[in-house]
């Protein structure tokens, strides 16, 4: 049998069950009539896109799915932590204990019988250590329906089954079973962004994050890479997570910039991502106390590369928390969350950083651990998986259970006094960072806060669930696909003609600023916390109109 033969057979066998899917679509369409708050929320803002919102196939599907699978009797999605029940009963807003819609649970109420279609596998869970059971469960939960395909950015760009979530699940399954050489599957798995859009889209509750990162971690030790790739990986892992080293590397990189074309091709995307200049290094105090008695006490995770690229994000986060009466502890000794290494198979690096953060963050002494970088927040919530089977697993669960995005936390403080009215009404386009919307299920909270700014109109982007191509080091490792996705998203932002755009992740900001057209200068794309802080400070003013070319 040729290496891919089994895959092809299995894949074709798993093509969409047309009759069943038609039935499911009908169910979903009925559910749409009921309408979720999310749908209403989106439709209400369509008017601010001059070119008209085009609700793409993935967007429309996801809205259908959200309505169809909202747990019976569950409260609507209001943005509060325990209420982001998009597609599964998400009683904890963490990846640590996701109560899931299983295929069986899905089959029971609507009679679709998906339980019969769950993927059969021969993965030996014992052979794959602590990651074996969650990986096998993720494979088993897949019912081959294909609903994730239009939601997958790489399937949209590359257009073949093996670059879709369903195709990748089959590839990983076969490698884990020992029936397909890992090298055959590798290019398609390397092309995965890890954006988790497929998790949001999946009606069967496949927890894709339980599969892709553990798979990469297990494969990495045996993987043979060219020396130049090994060197690039070493440079990334030894500089990006460490702000001081990153600053030094950025300085050296700028000196080498005139010679970029002489460097090996694999290093050029990294050079192209280097900022022209970095703001001065910032040090934060150990504790920030509000004027009155604190209403809550939180620990702030500072992020790594974010500290060097845009320290205003942490300043703004602290300012917002103090303004709303929250005491902020900035734990000394904290490190990169580990997500960068975790997503590229460097599990030892990720575990070491996770353990360091467990030691540094006083979990039991704070009400929440605040993250303002979507990738970091999602990474922190994955600690129980990263440290699965180790002595630190229960500590990891305790930490993950307290992680909150800054916007998610602010809305839990109750009704907030709105910021002062800006001099002119503003339009703001909001870009969902994948590791906020898919990774942490935080969608409503940033929108609720931005809408508090008096006179503000919020613009929704078309295809909001599709990644901008940032995804950790993806825009360095897979620059061609990343550039296509970045240009699409940046063009969509510019087409809104909004005064500002906001997003909750430094990776997205960096990627999109590199691709924004001249009509939408990079300084108008801000981190959500920065934009909100300027609004509350009364310094948010509409930009000077650009001359029309």
- Tell me if 215 contacts ligand SF4 by CB under 6 A: no
Q: Does position 166 bind ligand SF4 by CB under 6 A?
A: yes
Q: Using the rule CB under 6 A, is 400 a contact of ligand SF4? A: no
Specify the residue, 201 or 490, whose C-beta has the smaller distance to ligand SF4.
Answer: 201
Q: Tell me how far, at minimum, the Cβ of 164 lies from ligand SF4, in Å.
A: 7
502 binds ligand SF4 (CB under 6 A): no
Strand partners, 371: 301, 405
H helices of 259-298, in order, are: 268-273
- CA atoms of 379 and 336, how far apart (whole Å): 10
Applying CB under 6 A, which part among 68-76, 192-200, 228-236, 388-396 lies near ligand SF4? 192-200
Does 192 engage in binding with ligand SF4 (CB under 6 A)?
Answer: yes
> Per rule CB under 6 A, is residue 152 in the interface with ligand SF4?
yes
CB of 216 to ligand SF4, least distance (A): 11
In the structure encoding, which two tokens stand for residue 525, read together?
């794309």
Query: Closest approach of Cβ 386 to ligand SF4, in Å?
Result: 17
What is the maximum alpha-carbon separation in the chain? 72
Q: Does 475 bind ligand SF4 (CB under 6 A)?
A: no
Residue 148 makes contact with ligand SF4 by CB under 6 A? yes
Nearest to 407 by CA among 382, 434, 439, 373: 373
Give the burial string for 461-487 (b: 16+ CB within 10 Å, else e): bbbbbbbbbbbbbbbbbbbebbbbbbb
The piece of 166-174, 311-319, 321-329, 331-339 that touches ligand SF4 (CB under 6 A) is 166-174
Minimum distance from residue 374 beta carbon to ligand SF4 (Å): 14
Measured distance between the N- and C-terminal CA atoms of the chain, rounded to whole angstroms: 60
Number of H helices, E strands in the chain: 28, 9
What single DSSP character describes residue 503? Answer: E
Per rule CB under 6 A, count of chain residues that contact ligand SF4: 27
Which window, 137-145, 219-227, 232-240, 259-267, contacts ligand SF4 (CB under 6 A)? 137-145
CB of 189 to ligand SF4, least distance (A): 9
Strands 426-431 and 500-503: parallel
Q: Which of 202, 69, 96 is nearest to 77 (CA)?
A: 69
Give the interface segment with ligand SF4, choosing from 139-147, 225-233, 237-245, 489-497 (CB under 6 A). Answer: 139-147
Cβ contacts of residue 457 below 8 Å, gap of 6+?
45, 48, 425, 426, 427, 428
Q: How far is the CB of 142 from ligand SF4 (least distance, A)?
A: 3
State the alpha helices, DSSP H only, in 191-291.
Answer: 197-201, 209-219, 227-239, 243-256, 268-273
CB of 163 to ligand SF4, least distance (A): 8
Q: Please, are residues 88 and 69 in contact by the beta-carbon 8 Å criterion?
A: yes
- CB-wise, 150 or 303, nearer to ligand SF4? 150
The pattern of x and - marking residues 70 through 109 that bind ligand SF4 according to CB under 6 A reads ----------------------------------------
Between 194 and 338, CB nearer to ligand SF4: 194
Q: Which two tokens stand for residue 395?
A: 């500590």
Report, in this order, helix, strand and coil percent for the chain, each rounded to 5: 55, 5, 40
Which positions lie near ligand SF4, rule CB under 6 A?
A: 142-148, 151-154, 165-166, 168-169, 192-198, 201-202, 204, 206, 208
């Amino acid at each position: 049998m040729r290496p891919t033969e089994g895959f092809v057979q299995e894949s074709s066998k798993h093509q969409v069950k047309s009759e069943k899917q038609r039935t499911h679509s009908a169910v979903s369409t009925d559910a749409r009539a009921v309408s979720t708050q999310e749908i209403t929320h989106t439709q209400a803002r369509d008017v601010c896109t001059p070119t008209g919102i085009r609700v793409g196939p993935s967007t429309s599907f996801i809205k259908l799915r959200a309505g169809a699978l909202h747990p019976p009797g569950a409260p609507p999605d209001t943005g509060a932590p325990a209420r982001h029940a998009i597609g599964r009963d998400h009683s904890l807003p963490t990846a640590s204990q996701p109560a899931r819609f299983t295929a069986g649970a899905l089959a029971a109420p609507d009679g679709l019988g998906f339980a019969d279609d769950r993927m059969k596998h021969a993965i030996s869970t014992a052979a794959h250590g602590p990651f074996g059971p969650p990986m096998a469960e993720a494979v088993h939960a897949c019912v081959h329906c294909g609903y994730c395909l239009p939601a997958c950015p790489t399937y949209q760009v590359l257009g073949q089954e093996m670059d879709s979530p369903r195709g990748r699940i089959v590839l990983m399954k076969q490698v884990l079973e020992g029936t397909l050489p890992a090298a055959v599957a590798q290019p398609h798995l390397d092309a995965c962004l890890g954006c988790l859009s497929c998790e949001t889209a999946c009606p069967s509750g496949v927890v894709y994050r339980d599969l892709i990162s553990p798979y990469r971690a297990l494969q990495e030790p045996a993987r043979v890479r060219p020396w130049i790739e090994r060197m690039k990986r070493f440079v990334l892992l030894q500089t990006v997570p460490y702000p001081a080293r990153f600053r030094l590397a950025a300085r050296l990189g700028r000196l080498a910039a005139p010679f970029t074309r002489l460097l090996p091709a694999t290093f050029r995307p990294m050079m192209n991502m280097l900022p022209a200049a970095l703001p001065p290094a910032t040090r934060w105090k150990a504790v920030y106390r509000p004027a009155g008695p604190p209403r809550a006490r939180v620990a702030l995770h500072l992020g790594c590369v974010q500290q060097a690229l845009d320290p205003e994000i942490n300043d703004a986060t602290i300012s917002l928390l103090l303004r709303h009466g929250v005491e902020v502890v900035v734990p000394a000794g904290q490190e990169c969350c580990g997500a960068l290494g975790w997503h590229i198979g460097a599990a030892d690096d990720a575990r070491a950083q996770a353990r360091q953060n467990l030691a540094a963050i006083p979990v039991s002494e704070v009400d929440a651990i605040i993250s303002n970088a979507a990738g970091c927040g999602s990474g922190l919530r994955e600690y129980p998986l990263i440290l699965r089977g180790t002595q630190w697993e229960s500590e990891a669960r305790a930490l993950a259970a307290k992680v909150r995005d800054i916007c998610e936390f602010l809305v839990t403080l109750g009704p907030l006094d709105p910021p002062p009215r800006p001099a002119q009404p503003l339009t703001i386009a909001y870009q969902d960072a994948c590791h906020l919307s898919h990774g942490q299920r935080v969608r409503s909270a940033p929108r609720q806060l931005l809408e508090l700014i008096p006179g503000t109109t919020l613009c929704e982007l078309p295809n909001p669930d599709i990644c901008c191509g940032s995804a950790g080091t993806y825009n360095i490792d897979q620059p061609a696909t990343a550039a296509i996705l970045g240009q699409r998203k940046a063009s969509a932002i510019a087409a809104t003609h909004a005064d500002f755009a906001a997003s909750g992740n430094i990776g997205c900001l960096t990627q999109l600023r590199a691709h924004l057209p001249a009509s939408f200068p990079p300084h108008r794309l801000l981190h959500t916390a920065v934009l909100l802080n300027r609004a509350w400070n009364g310094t948010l003013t509409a930009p000077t109109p650009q001359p029309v070319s």
